Structure formats: C-alpha cells, structure tokens
A and B are shown apart, each in its own frame.
Chain A
Amino acid sequence: MKKMHFREWGVESPRYWSMVAILAAIVVIAGFATLYMEHEGHWVTGMNNQVVWGIPHVFAVFLIVAASGALNVASIGSVFNKKVYKPLAPLSGLLAMTLLIGGLLVLVLDLGQPARLIVAMTTYNFKSIFAWNIYLYVGFLAVVAVYLFTMMERKANQYTKAVGTFAFVWRLLLTTGTGSIFGFLVARQGYDAAIMAPMFIIMSFAYGLAIYLMVLMFTFKADDRALGDKLVSRLKNLLGVFVAAVLYFTVAYHLTNLYGTENHAYEAFILRDGGIYTTLFWGGWVLLGCLVPLGIIYHPALGKSRGALLTACALVVLGGLATMYVIIIGGQAFPMAMFPDKTIIASGFYDGVNGEALSYSPSLPEFLLGIGGVAVALLATLVAVRVLRFLPESLADEVADPHTAKGA
C-alpha cells in the first residue's frame, strides 16, 4: 500500500467562507432563539407539564447517538484491523466529537436552569443514568481526542490500536447509557425495555455511518479528491447491514410488545391510532428511514449511483429524527397506565381522558435550537478539516485498497 497523505480541505476560499457564513448564521439565529427561551421560560415552547421533553431532545439524542456511531469507521480500522478503513479514521473521530458537542449543547441549553450546569458537574447521584452519562459524554470527547492524536501524530501511532479499542468500548457504553435513559424508565409503557440500549447502539451505527458518508462524499467532491467506487461500495453495503439491523430491532421490539396484552394499547397507539406518531413511525422510521434506503442500497443500478447513495443517507438521517420523535415524544404522548382496568373519564390535569393522547406541538424557537445543534456540529467539522489534516489526499481505490483494486 502506498503511503497515505493527509491534507487540509482545500475548497476555494469564497466557497468555503460562504459555507461557514451560512452555518454561523444558523448558529446565531439558534442562539437568539435559545436566549429568548431562557429569558421567557419554557412557556414559549410547545413543551408542557404533560409532554415534558420536546424537539430539542429529539435533536440532542439523535446527535449524541449519531456521534457514537460516527466513530465506527475508525473502530473498524484500528480495532478490527481493516486496513482500508484506516485512512477514513481521522474524519470518523472528528465527526464523533463534533456531533456529540452539537447534541450536548442542545441538551444543556434546553435545561430549565442551564446556568446550573456547574451543579450538574459537581453534584452527582450515581443511581441516575443521567449522572453516568455526564461522565460518559465528557469522557468520550477526551478519549476520542487522544485517539485522534495517536492517529495524526506519527510518533503516537503505536498506541492507536490500544486507544482505539478503549474508545470503541467507551462508545458502546455511551450509547448503552443513552438508550438506558429510556430503557430504565419503569413508569411509561413505551420505555422500560432492555432492548432500548442495544437498539440505540444499532441505530447509532446506521445514523453515524449515514452522516459520515454524506460528509465524506461532500468534502471529497467539493475538493476534487478521488473517492474510489470500491471503497464507497464497501461503506454503502455496511450501511445496508446497519439499516437492516435497525429494522430487525424495530420488529423485535414491537412484536414483543404485541405479544403481551398489557402493551396492546401502546402498540395500537404507535402502530395504528396515534396520528402524527403513527405517520412518523410507518412513514418516517420504517419506510423512509429503513425500507427506501435499503431499496436504494441494494438496487443493482441505483446502488452504484453516488446521488442515490447520498439520498439514501439523507433518508436514514431523516428517518432517524422521525424515530427519535416517535420514541421520545410518542412515548410521552401515550397516557401512562395508572389505572389498568379503568378508564379516566375526567381529570383536572389531562392524564389521557378517555385514552386521549397528551398533546405537544413544537414551536419555532425549540426547533431552531435543535437545528442550531446540527449547525454547530457541521461548522466545527468544516473548520477542523480546513485547519488540520483530517482528509486523505486521495481515496481512489488503487490508493486506499490496492489489493482489492487489482483484483477487480
């Protein structure tokens, strides 16, 4: 294999700065939206005392889950010794960090008391998975930063495998922690399931890789760098496996619920009668997020088209956001089964009278906060690839994987 050279992203300045400006403008707008929400209080959002987590959590959890998944490409290279993935690793580590920062920002800025972050960092209840997550998230940033250093500093290369393995285990723990935010909630019918943790891990594989592929294809095309078909095809097939696995976990989760009568009402809500949640489940989570991307990825002609692959990746991301919406908000909108053999026919505080779902309609500021998190992640990525050598000069097949290229 030829020696791999890395170079800063060389997109011509006007184009680069206009991209930066657009993202920065989004960040600024999101910043004002956040200030507005903090100043006024959460009453300006659609969140209420019935549905307490809203759009910011959809974006935050999505970004955090995707962050851990974005690291997978690096892990395959250094943990599982797949040489062809090694040049792909720095961007993978970078995205893992920037996506996590974007997600954490959204999560923190949606707190009722964001200024008390210092309390959250100094006062812990270790029975809370949230408290563990503070360590898991901050630790992840540190571990991945060291991992990147071992990759990018030649003298430290010898430690890449060890640190990479540690980062891989860490990321599995991190996503377990994120899935368990919901898995550990005994109160609500949609949560309280051990499958949440592994399902979130497999979702992270898919979302993280989809974002990785989009960023990879975009940065390489914009800078006229070669990106070999063999390599893209490998990543595409991997994405196919991950998306199929998401579908499998989805089926297993709902089939298990459908078996027990106690969960029939919840399943009927998500699968049939839940309005927006049902639409997003079938249309977003299953169709656009899984089936259509699978169709594109394994289609003999479409599977070879970069444009189609980009579409598939974008759909996986959109499907992922829909998935988070169904899990996070749908799980709260379904009234809790406080009185299993009874119907609540009147209540002074909603409670799902006659089984009616609790209502939530997102407002613009909270949506802007979520988008702002995405913009921060992308902006940080664009700045980093411009100033540091994250991207290989070429990922043409004969460079990246001469062995396979020769065999073709």
Chain B
Amino acid sequence: MSKQTDQGRRSFLAKATTVAAASTVAPGVFLHSVAQAEPRAEAVSDKVRWGMLIDTTKCGDGCTACVDACDKENGLDLLVKPEGASDAEWDKQRPRWIREVKLKDNLTGRVSTLPMMCLHCEHPPCVDVCPTGASFRRADGVVMVDRHTCIGCRYCMMACPYKARSFIHESVQFKTTNAPRGKGCVESCNFCVHRLDNGQTTTACQDACVKDGHQAIVFGDLRDPNSAVSKAMAEYPTVEIRADLKLNTGVRYTGL
C-alpha cells in the first residue's frame, strides 16, 4: 500500500517537475514553433498546391457518401426549403458543392460515375470575370469566394465551365462556423479550406469515400512529389475535364 503511495508520490513529483520546467522554459523555446504551427498567422504560400485525383473506376455507382459528407461539413444540410417553394424549384435552387454524375460513352456505351465539384483551376474563369475580385484563388491553389465583397451578380456562375458554383437564393437560418453563408452570395467547394487552415490535410469528401471503402478520392499537395496524390497522378493516366480550355485544374480524373 505504502509502496504504491510512494510510487504515486514519486510519479506525481516527476510530472509536476516536468510541467513546471515546461511552463518556465517553454515560452522561450516553443513559442516560435507554436506560432509556426498556427497557419492562420501567416499568409498561405504557393509552396503548396492543393489538388485531388478522382479514380472513377473506384467511385461507387449510387453512392452519395462524398455528397452527404460535404453537405454536413459545410452546413448545406442545414438549409431549409423556403415556405411556399415547390420541391422541384427548391431542388434547382438549393446549393450544391459536390454532385454525383454518371456518364455513358457515346461510342462504347461504357458507363462511369464520378463526383464533380469546383476543380480549382490555376487560371479560373470565375476569378477572371468577377467584377469586384470576390472570386479569388489563393496562393495554395484553393479557389473560393470572399463573402464580404461578393455582390451576387452570378457572372462567375456564367463563366464556370464545370457548373460548380451555387447562389444562395433564400434566407439562411442555420450555418456552421466553417462555412458561414448568407442570402445573395455565390459559393462553391473550397477544398474544406477551414480544415487546411487548421493544419488538417484531408477533405470531408475524401474522408467519407475512404470510410465507405471506395478510396476513389485522393487529396493532397501537388507540389510535394511524395504526397499520395502526386504519386497516384504519376502512376495513372489522368485527364483534365475541358482540357481544351487550358485551365490547369487542381482536380484530375482517372479511368474516364
């Protein structure tokens, strides 16, 4: 019993000493690195380019895991149909950041399934046309909308070749802190930028796809040759949707 108490006391003293030492020395030693570990204190840099590879052969037909996860992560599932709106109209007016698309090859009849979202172009037409610069591309490749300067003109939606953007047609009651939104602005997939800025390196859609066992989505840093996405892109033949436009999209597809 007393041996146990002694051990307990000894371990307590050891821990207390460590904590005391840490709290005295740490500010000098660690503060700098703590600041570095807080990415929001610094502007994002182009040392990273976030990108994604989607393997359409692994994408599950009828699976909506990525769509559901995106809706939840970004609060799209919190939006409610305005009173008096018809279901059919609401379905066309509700925002979507990611959607499932099923294609059939006109010649061979081969069917493939894939998720479509903002493809995070290097030269995004939505950014070119935005009169106020609200539609912008971050140095790390994320294309998104500054909700403070978006005037709701929807010219970016006219310009996007991927139909990736949505306009908020209704008053918003509930929203997540991740993705605050309001009536009258445009928005789209931002690669779960709140996660990236908090040091995470996965998107909600990717996590959901992994969890569902498909692993069709690989996300990561295209500039890092050792990242999973770079390795996968080096291994498989990939395509860019509307490659003719030479937008150099950050999202690529394989098996299409």
- Which A residues contact B (CB, under 8 angstroms)? 40-43, 47-50, 52-53, 111-114, 116-117, 119-120, 123-125, 127-131, 134, 181, 184-188, 332, 336, 338-339, 341-351, 359
Contact = CB atoms under 8 A, between A and B. Distances in A.
Contacts of B133: 123-125
A350 B92 contact: yes
Contact of A50 (B92, B149, B183, B241): B92
B141 to A, nearest CB: 19
Contacts of A112: 150-154, 167-168, 183-186
Interface string B227-256: 000000000000001100100000000000
Nearest to A191: B158
Q: Which 9 A-B pairs have the closest CB atoms?
A: A112-B152, A112-B184, A187-B161, A130-B131, A48-B92, A348-B99, A346-B102, A125-B133, A349-B99
B105 interface: yes
Contacts of B185: 112-113
Interface stretch (B2-10, B23-31, B82-90): B82-90
B166 to A, nearest CB: 5
Contacts of B170: 40-43
A41 B168 contact: yes
Nearest to A107: B153
Contacts of A111: 151-153, 184
Nearest to A49: B166
Interface residues of B, number: 58
26 contacts: A40-B171, A41-B82, A43-B90, A43-B170, A47-B169, A48-B92, A111-B152, A111-B184, A112-B154, A112-B167, A113-B150, A113-B152, A119-B132, A120-B151, A124-B131, A124-B132, A127-B128, A130-B153, A185-B129, A338-B163, A342-B105, A343-B104, A345-B103, A347-B100, A348-B67, A348-B100
B154 A347 contact: no
A339 B93 CA distance: 24
Contacts of A181: 155
A179 to B, nearest CB: 14
A113 B130 contact: no
B35 interface: no
Contact of B158 (A116, A124, A185, A349): A185
Contacts of A47: 93, 169
Contacts of A120: 131-132, 151, 153
A338 B167 contact: no
B157 interface: yes
Contact of B241 (A40, A338, A359): A338
B159 to A, nearest CB: 6
Given A41-B171, A134-B131, A119 B67 contact: no
B158 A43 contact: no
Nearest to B115: A348
A51 to B, nearest CB: 8
B128 A128 contact: yes
B158 A48 contact: no
Contacts of A342: 103-106
Best-buried of B99, B152, B163, B165 by chain A (most CB within 10 Å): B163
A387 B92 CA distance: 49
Given A50-B163, A113-B152, A113-B185, 14 more contacts: A41-B171, A42-B167, A49-B96, A112-B150, A112-B152, A113-B184, A120-B153, A128-B130, A128-B155, A185-B158, A185-B159, A341-B106, A343-B106, A349-B96
B184 A41 contact: yes
Nearest to A342: B103
Nearest to A127: B128
Contacts, number: 176
B94 A49 contact: yes
A336 B161 contact: yes
A189 to B, nearest CB: 11
Contacts of A346: 100-102
Contact of B157 (A52, A184, A186, A350): A52
B155 A341 contact: no
A188 B154 CA distance: 15
Nearest to B172: A41
A147 B175 CA distance: 52
Best-buried of B101, B127, B130 by chain A (most CB within 10 Å): B101
A111 to B, nearest CB: 5
Contacts of B155: 128, 130, 181
Best-buried of A40, A124, A128, A336 by chain B (most CB within 10 Å): A128
B64 interface: yes
B160 interface: yes
Contacts of B101: 344, 346-348, 351
Nearest to B110: A342
Best-buried of A47, A49, A117, A186 by chain B (most CB within 10 Å): A49
Contacts of A332: 158
A215 to B, nearest CB: 30
Best-buried of A47, A184, A186 by chain B (most CB within 10 Å): A186
A357 to B, nearest CB: 12
